[in-house]
Amino acid sequence: MKLNEIIELDKKYFMNTFGNRTPVCFDHGKGINLWDLDGKKYYDFLAGIAVSALGHSHPKLINAIKEQAEKLIHCSNLYYIEPQARLAKILVENSCADKVFFANSGAEANEGAIKLARIYFKKKGMPEKFEIITLEKSFHGRTLATIAATGQDKYQKPFSPLTPSFLKVPINDLEALRNAINDSTCAIMIEPIQGESGVNLTTLEYMQGVRKLCDEKGIFLIFDEVQCGLGRTGKLFAYEHLGIEPDIFTLAKALGGGFPIGALCAKKHVASAFEPGDHGSTFGGNPLACAAGLAVMDTMINNNLVKNSEEMGSYFIDKLSTLANKYDFVKEIRGKGLMIGIQLSIEKAVEIKNKCFDKGYLIGSVGNNIIRLLPPLIVTKEDIDGMVDVLDNIFQEY
């Protein structure tokens, strides 16, 4: 089909929740590159919003999906599933978690985390402890509960009244967090690095203080690592930068390399609160999704992709810093590993994103003054040099 035919079909039959999408339809991809229906080549510096960590058409991932699809795609969680058990084992052996539950998305994983924290205290005879504190500018998903947990009014207002009971406080303000904790608090839910609101980093001092507060108050620390986990920040898990461990953490996005899968991970003392019948999923942790997850984890751990994320991230930030020194409107370069935000003092982020697209580079924007960069973890110095050159050429126009 031609692009205009696809757009017309989309307008006629698909619910318009994405507004005016970028006018392109990709036909195939390889590595960091994508090709549209007309054969134009693009460099993907968004990775499907931090999903395609291995790039596109990675042979190990393709083979794992093909081999599993030829054997068994689905059988339901009424039966034991070998890839599911193996993937849970790999996640536990490489993290602070003791138990794992698989879902279909990051929002579902976060829903599971919310349910787990609440049911733990209910079963301990403390049903009054059900409130969860989150951070302003956070993003935890688009289900009713995860929208309520999200600290952004623009996502919440259309769906009020919201699911109770969530409080939000400013990022990196330990005193505000301390004052928000009350007898109803059961958990604090935090993205170690906020992604959707523009790559906002929590500080080491703050996060260690949060961990101490949780220990003092007998409440849980939940980390949403849906976007910042799995090698994105130069560590396998973002909490490794902080010298602390969460009681519960969630994963998704990169875990399936493009195939939908999420994971709820928890320490044994809290995971044991889930008993038969308390939680479930028809599709979550199916053989095909877990086969994809196994291929991603094997590649990430054994092919030094996390190390590459750390090294290329440092290189990328250094190169971008030269642009910040060159152009006054580049206010700040922030991030860790290959999770990078460029803060502008001019409201031109969307315009710059579109100009990059015209030049064959895919990037993200947050609002109209933040550029977001999330390339695959296989990115090279050559790829980065090309991206920085394109930005440099575009920035000269302002």
User: Could you report the per-residue pLDDT of 199-213, keeping only the tens digit for each?
Assistant: 999 999 999 999 999
**Mean of the pLDDT values across residues 98-118?**
98
User: Could you report the per-residue pLDDT of 222-247, keeping only the tens digit for each?
Assistant: 999 999 999 999 999 999 999 999 99
Angle separating helix axes 287-302 and 59-71, nearest 10 degrees? 150
Active site residue 253: yes
Could you give the percent of the chain with pLDDT greater than 70?
A: 100
Confidence of residue 60 (pLDDT cuts 50, 70, 90): very high
Q: Who's near 373: CB < 8 A, 6+ residues apart? A: 45, 46, 316, 335, 338, 340, 341, 342, 363, 364, 387
pTM (2 d.p.): 0.97
Could you give the percent of the chain with pLDDT greater than 90?
A: 99
- Given 45, 101, 102, 139, the catalytic residue: 139
Active site residue 224: yes
Assign domain 3-58+304-395 to a CATH class. Answer: alpha beta
Give me the CATH code for the 72-302 domain, please: 3.40.640.10
- Given 253, 336, 353, 355, the catalytic residue: 253
Integer CA distances (angstroms), 310 to 105, 158, 201, 217, 272, in order: 26, 39, 16, 35, 35
Q: What is the pLDDT of residue 20?
A: 85
* Domain ranges within the chain, ordered by starting residue: 3-58+304-395, 72-302
Active site residue 36: no
Q: What is the pLDDT of residue 321?
A: 97
Mean pLDDT, all residues of the chain:
97
Q: What is the pLDDT of residue 110?
A: 98
User: Could you report the per-residue pLDDT of 5-51, keeping only the tens digit for each?
Assistant: 999 999 999 999 998 899 999 999 999 999 999 999 999 999 999 99
- Given 44, 224, 247, 383, the catalytic residue: 224
